[in-house]
Amino acid sequence: MITLLVGSNNVHKAEELRAILETQNIAQILMPSAIQGFPQEIPETGTTLEENAYIKAVTIFHTTGITCIADDTGLEVDALQGAPGVYTARYAGGNATYADNRAKLLDALKNTPPEKRTARFRTVICYHDALRVSFAEGVCEGRISEVESGSGGFGYDAVFVPDGFSTTFAEMDATAKNAISHRGRALQELSRLLREYHKHEE
């Protein structure tokens, strides 16, 4: 079993990644807080989710020397021509809180009818070890609610309703959310890739 460093300084995201990975039972998980010298600030200068995930993974691997994953996630709202997209985490500004971002999004959609509020979460994960760099992607389709609902999760969870459900991510328990989420689906794809790597290397 490999040792895998979850490369994110976002505590909520890192914990969610660990929770999902531990159910896959394919890696011993290390958290950033356990690694001395883990880079605290990695500029996300890419123009795509793939570029940002790659920048973070390369920086973390070269700094720590530990096999790692890093991800970037975007919320793409159709009525906003795909925004906030790559700027999802800083939609309301560089120092924006989760609440700031949600408020700006709901305001931007205030005159948009329910059937036009379609959106999706997209996660791209970059895996980096001594031999390779690989990518895995997960997408969750849904819509943006008209008001916030729920206290769980983080980010935009309180305004995102996944297809086939009437509740937001923030109203779901973690297990239910992780089973269908963009991040969960990306990690499922990553798990498939890692199993293939291990099979060929045995």
| Residue 200 pLDDT | 62
- For residue 161, the cross-strand partners are 143
Give the rounded percent of residues in the chain with a pLDDT score beyond 70.
98
What CATH number is given for 2-201 in this structure? 3.90.950.10
pLDDT of residue 137: 98
Q: Mean of the pLDDT values across residues 56-70?
A: 95
β-bridge mates for residue 55, sequence order: none
Q: 68 pLDDT exceeds 70?
A: yes
Write down the domain spans for the chain: 2-201
Whether the per-residue pLDDT at 74 is higher than 60: the answer is yes
Q: 3 vs 17, 27, 30, 185, CA distance in Å? A: 14, 6, 7, 21
Write out pLDDT tens, residues 166-200. 999 999 999 899 999 999 999 999 988 888 877 76
Model pTM greater than 0.75? yes
Active site residues: 72
Task: Give start and end residues of each alpha helix (H) in 65-180.
Answer: 98-108, 174-180
